Amino acid sequence: MTDLRESQAVVLRKPVGRSLFRLSRPQQWHKAMMLLAAPAAAGVIDQAVPVLRACVAAVAFIMLSIAIYAVNDVRDAPDDRRHPGKQHRPVAAYALSPAVALAWGFATAVAGLAIAAVLGVPTFLLGLGYLAAQLAYVYGLKHIAVVDVVLVALGFVLRAAAGGTAAGVPVSNWFLLVSLFGALFLVAGKRRAEQASTVSDARSRPVLAAYPAAWLDQLVTVALLGTSLSYGLWAFQYLGDDVIRQLLAVSFLPFLTGLLRYGLLVSTGRGELPEYEIFRDRVLLVAGATWAALLAMGLYA
């Protein structure tokens, strides 16, 4: 027991700043790019003020997500220590005390809400809703089958909506549906890969045992269909002005190709880390680049 305490004390002497940075998950900050989706779809990504406001909102949501990571790591530390990958998280590895982690989480939550409040009441309320939903997830809802998947997907939808309110652009229902089904598609693929992985520890995500593989496959299919149909209806019935509608319509083809390709990767057991899988597959890269080019020309040419 003495040796264990001494080893923990030694580890805790590591630089706190570095541990707080690792706790903040910088590799996940790219998710805040979702806040630029609404201004881009509305055709104002080339205007300085809306983009600046959306970027400020992205910073706010990064701060809020850091608060969630801090609380999550403190609560899950005992289980993380039994996981081959998560055992290296700062709190689980005794590189950061729970008190310091929670203080950091509180500070970033206050900072995130304060920044969101500067952008207006709607953005503040969306930020507050995001924080409340994710805290509910951490404090128990992540152990309830289906609810956990919906809450994770909801986080992406709230980010997308906040980007629109911050930039002052209208957010169409089709855009929100694309965000929702797209997020469900990624989350379902992630759960499917985690369930099939020999590295995943059931104790770190007990809810996986409640999901039959066949049901997750069905969810992937439903989410894929929902994403493609919602995007197709948005692209073919775009209500804005000064756009090349034919290019928006054609952009549906590479968009669908990317979805189908990623669905194929998920069916082979990949998808646990979507942010890496997307950039590892050449077909996905080509489809994504083609889609982005067509969309940009259709909206801004």
Domain with residue 53: its CATH number is 1.10.357.140
Same domain, 161 and 51: yes
Same domain, 27 and 147: yes
Alpha-carbon span 43 to 169, nearest angstrom = 9
Quick: pLDDT tens for 107-163: 999 999 999 999 999 999 999 999 999 999 999 899 999 999 999 999 999 999 999
Same domain, 161 and 278: no
Q: Which amino acid is at 3?
A: D
Which range, of 114-118, 211-215, 288-292, 297-301, averages the lowest pLDDT? 297-301
Same domain, 89 and 184: no
What would the two tokens of residue 242 be?
């000064």
The number of distinct structural domains making up the chain is 2
Quick: pLDDT tens for 14-56: 688 899 999 999 988 888 989 999 998 888 888 999 999 999 9
For the chain, the 3-state helix, strand and coil shares in percent, each to the nearest 5, are 80, 0, 20
User: What band does 4 get if pLDDT is binned at 50, 70 and 90?
Assistant: very low
Higher pLDDT, residue 244 or 71: 71
Q: How many Cβ atoms sit within 10 Å of the Cβ of residue 78?
A: 9
Q: How many Cβ atoms sit within 10 Å of the Cβ of residue 18?
A: 12
5 inside domain: no
Q: Look at residues 143, 168, 193 and tell me which one is the last residue of a structural domain.
A: 168
State the angle between helix axes of 252-267 and 213-236 in degrees (0 to 180), rounded to the nearest 10. Answer: 170
Radius of gyration of the chain (CA): 20
Q: What is the mean pLDDT of residues 173-192?
A: 91
pLDDT, residue 156, reads 92
Quick: pLDDT tens for 224-254: 999 999 999 888 876 566 678 889 899 999 9
10 inside domain: no
CB 247 within 8 A of CB 43: no
> DSSP for 139-163?
TTGGGSTTHHHHHHHHHHHHHHHHH
Same domain, 95 and 180: no
Same domain, 177 and 252: yes
Same domain, 145 and 195: no
8 inside domain: no
CB 126 within 8 A of CB 116: yes
Angle at 19 between CA 22 and CA 130, to 5 degrees: 50
Same domain, 117 and 189: no
Neighbouring residues of 49: CB distance < 8 A, sequence distance ≥ 6: none
Quick: pLDDT tens for 248-283: 899 999 999 999 999 998 888 887 778 777 888 899
Print the domain residue range for 30. Answer: 15-168
Alpha-carbon span 288 to 202, nearest angstrom = 34
What would the two tokens of residue 91 be?
């709190």
Q: How many Cβ atoms sit within 10 Å of the Cβ of residue 209?
A: 10
What secondary structure letter does DSSP report for 207?
G
19 inside domain: yes
Same domain, 157 and 21: yes
Is residue 290 packed enough to be buried (19+ CB in 10 Å), middle (13-18) or exposed (0-12)? middle
pLDDT, residue 122, reads 96
pLDDT, residue 245, reads 81
